């Protein structure tokens, strides 16, 4: 009996420690946590197995659309958070320490430059934290991944042609120039891949024009259309204007399927 009593006390003590540690853990941040759609856990379909082009396209769009929508909704939650803090700042209300930490994280995540001036910081973040039209993402992914059949897409969820620059971070391109160090990024899942792609368009200096077009549409209360924002992607490809023409053509041809 004495032995059983000791074990019982030890077990209770362990449970108390575990419970205390659990209570001390910070709550998961909705702002920082990358969401996952239902399609994120579905294996990448073999798009090369489709004999009918129309069926292949529909399967491709159906696979990617839920994830793109989920990540855009996440961006809108981040945007709403910034709007809320901006309203509190204008009203002279106190911003909590937790909110300040979230704001700092967003500033770092989107590479904000106006961190020492709250008014300018809010303006900058609201330019950067915004949606990319689903249709534009779909045609870009189709273009960059050969409709989901490239090895970068099938083996690493990279439907976007995104590069990384740390050795071993992805796939070494077969046609990489001598002396080049970049690799084609490899992702663990579709959610991380789509999130990274959208963040790239929203924070990289190469896509300032895209964000400026989107800002103008917001100010005029016009729809953020795929065709309009495609004009800001001339630096996404070495083909420049030809790339934009191709994307717009893909938008027209595949409009009914998206």
Residue 250 domain flag: yes
Q: How far apart are the first and last CA of the chain?
A: 70
Closest CA to 67 of 165, 134, 162: 134
Residues 34, 73 contacting (CB under 8 angstroms): no
248 belongs to a structural domain: yes
- The residue to which tokens 């809108």 are assigned: 76
Q: Residue 42: inside a domain, yes or no?
A: no
State pLDDT tens for residues 202-218. Answer: 999 999 999 999 999 99
Please say whether the beta carbons of 210 and 228 come within 8 A: no
Sign of the dihedral defined by the CA atoms of residues 95, 98, 100, 103, in that order: negative
For residues 4 and 16, give the distance between their C-alpha atoms in angstroms, rounded to a whole number.
18
Asked whether residue 253 is domain-assigned, the answer is yes
Q: What residues make up the domain containing 125?
A: 52-257
The answer to whether residue 227 is domain-embedded is: yes
Looking at the 3D structure of the chain, how many domains does it have?
A: 1
Q: How far is residue 110 CA from its own chain's centroid?
A: 11
How many Cα atoms occupy the beta-carbon half-sphere of 39 within 13 Å? Answer: 20
Query: 234: burial class by Cβ within 10 Å (0-12, 13-18, 19+)?
Result: middle
Cα-based angle 186, 26, 112 (whole degrees, multiple of 5): 55
pLDDT digits (tens, 9 = 90+) for 90-149: 999 999 999 999 999 999 999 999 888 999 999 999 999 999 999 999 999 999 999 999
Please check whether residue 63 is in contact with residue 148, taking contact to mean a CB–CB distance below 8 angstroms.
Answer: yes
15 inside domain: no
Residue 19 within any structural domain of the chain: no
Measured CA to CA, the distance from residue 107 to residue 89 in angstroms comes to: 16
In this structure, how many other beta carbons lie within 10 angstroms of the beta carbon of residue 196? Answer: 18
Instruction: Per residue of the chain (258 residues), give pLDDT as tens.
Output: 444 444 455 555 555 544 444 444 445 588 999 999 887 888 899 999 999 999 999 999 999 999 999 999 999 999 999 999 999 999 999 999 999 999 999 999 999 998 889 999 999 999 999 999 999 999 999 999 999 999 999 999 999 988 787 776 877 766 656 556 678 889 999 999 999 999 999 999 999 999 999 999 999 999 999 999 999 999 999 899 999 999 999 999 999 999
Give domain status of residue 121, yes or no. Answer: yes
Quick one: pLDDT at residue 39?
A: 79
Question: What residues pair up with 170 in beta bridges, in sequence order?
Answer: 185
């Amino acid at each position: 009996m004495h032995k059983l009593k000791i074990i019982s006390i030890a077990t209770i003590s362990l449970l108390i420690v575990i419970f205390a540690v659990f209570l001390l853990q910070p709550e998961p941040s909705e702002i920082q946590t990358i969401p996952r759609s239902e399609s994120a856990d579905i294996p990448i379909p073999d798009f090369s197995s489709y004999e009918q082009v129309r069926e292949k396209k529909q399967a491709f769009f159906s696979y990617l659309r839920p994830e793109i929508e989920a990540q855009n909704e996440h961006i809108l939650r981040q945007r709403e958070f910034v709007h809320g803090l901006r309203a509190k700042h204008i009203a002279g209300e106190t911003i909590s320490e937790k909110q300040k930490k979230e704001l700092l994280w967003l500033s770092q995540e989107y590479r904000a430059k106006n961190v020492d001036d709250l008014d300018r910081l809010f303006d900058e973040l609201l330019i950067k934290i915004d949606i990319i039209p689903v249709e534009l993402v779909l045609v870009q992914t189709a273009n960059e991944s050969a409709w989901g059949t490239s090895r970068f897409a099938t083996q690493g969820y990279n439907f976007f042609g995104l590069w990384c620059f740390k050795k071993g971070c992805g796939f070494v391109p077969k046609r990489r120039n001598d002396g080049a160090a970049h690799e084609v990024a490899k992702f663990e899942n579709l959610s991380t891949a789509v999130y990274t792609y959208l963040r790239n368009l929203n924070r990289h200096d190469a896509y300032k024009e895209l964000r400026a077009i989107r800002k103008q549409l917001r100010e005029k209360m016009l729809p953020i259309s795929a065709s309009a924002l495609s004009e800001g992607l001339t630096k996404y490809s070495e083909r420049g204007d030809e790339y934009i023409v191709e994307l717009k053509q893909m938008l027209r041809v595949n409009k009914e399927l998206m």
